[in-house]
Amino acid sequence: MTDTKGTVLITGASSGIGAIYADRFAARGHDLILVARNLGRLADVAASLQEKHGVQVKHGVQVKTIAADLGSEEGLRAVDTVLAEDHTITHLVNNAGFGSAAPLTAADVGEMQAMVTINVTAPLRLIYTAVPRFIARGKGTIINISSIVAIGPEILNGVYGGTKSFLLAFSQSLRKELAGTGVNVQVVLPGATGTKFWDVAGLPASNLPTEWVMSAADLVDAALLGLDRREFATIPSLADASEWDAWEASRAVMLPHLSNREPAERYQR
């Protein structure tokens, strides 16, 4: 007999934030489908989870792995197929992604295009597969791992900031569209986090002030607390939540005034 809490599909699950999400959801009694490119690392994570949680959770935790490159059509189709066919899936965690700290003139355009594919196209495709099925079942959860650069895209590489801004904007639209369907949407905006992300981005975390860098475990635990509280946007580093509320309120004030037949008076000669 398998666990009845549902299955969580996590992309980028072989290390860092994704692996910790896997550990935490396993501890909560969820079965797992772990997606990453490196089959060996996935197998190690799966074995560790089954050893750690298999005797702690009633009926044990089932862990499946999919070795897939979400930057390829073949890899996306493989995960799409599982999302379409596995009716036990209740959560989709879009965590896979990579970044860069390079300015435009120093960044390889091919790498930037690959970043857009992983950070934007992959979660978009997986959400389009998962959401209709979640709606049909009347329940489901989408967790999109964005970044604080969604709010401040000028902080790091502009393409990276743009991809994370997309995830925030897409999540905002999803929240509106899915209201009342039983499908929950959460977007998580980490600040600097102690993972291998920074090595790939070209700015090792060891070069950052220690007071800036949150552990991946603390980040995920905070994000899951936000999920339990039904937060839409969770920013674990932000001490004063009213700052986010004020930002959202300012946006809401502008929305009714952004489209008019005539230019604003200041643009009229």
**Where in the sequence numbering do the catalytic residues fall?**
160
Rounded to 5°, angle at Cα 38 from 32 and 41: 65
User: C-alpha dihedral over 68, 74, 77, 82, to 10 degrees?
Assistant: -40
Q: Give the residue from 67, 162, 83, 177 showing the smallest Cα distance to 130.
A: 83
157, 109 contact by CB (below 8 A): no
Q: Give the residue from 208, 210, 214 showing the smallest Cα distance to 236.
A: 214
3-state SS class at 197: helix
Pairing outcome for strands 89-94 and 7-11: parallel
Q: How far apart are CA 20 and CA 203, in angstroms?
A: 22
Q: Give the residue from 223, 232, 228 showing the smallest Cα distance to 191.
A: 223
Type of residue found at 82: V
